[in-house]
Amino acid sequence: MDLQLTKLELIEMLLNTKREAVLKKVRAILEAEQDDFSLTEEQYKIIDKRRENYLNGEGKSLTWEQVKQNALKAIS
């Protein structure tokens, strides 16, 4: 399944629909999906510590190209 193609097809269907009920259902589904994601207090602390280290020059960072290369190596 091509995710980008599916998204484009759905966008086209949304643009062509004249039924408000359909749009309301799609909105409810997408909003419910966003509500499913939340971090614990401990996860926020980890993120804050990593950000602090990064801002102080202590954290390691990678370029987007390095991230992509590492991801490709991991799945090989």
Give residue-wise pLDDT tens across range 3-42: 899 999 999 999 999 999 999 999 999 888 776 677 889 9
The pTM for the full model equals 0.42
pLDDT of 61 reads: 83
pLDDT of 35 reads: 67
pLDDT of 17 reads: 93
Instruction: Name residues whose C-beta falls within 8 Å of residue 9's C-beta, 6 or more positions apart in sequence.
Output: none
Of 32, 34, 37, 25, nearest to 10 by C-alpha is 25
- The dihedral of CA 70, 71, 74, 76: what is its sign? negative
Alpha carbons 47 and 59: distance in angstroms, whole number: 12
> What is the 8-class DSSP label of residue 65?
H
Model confidence band, residue 59 (pLDDT cutoffs 50, 70, 90): confident
pLDDT of 44 reads: 93
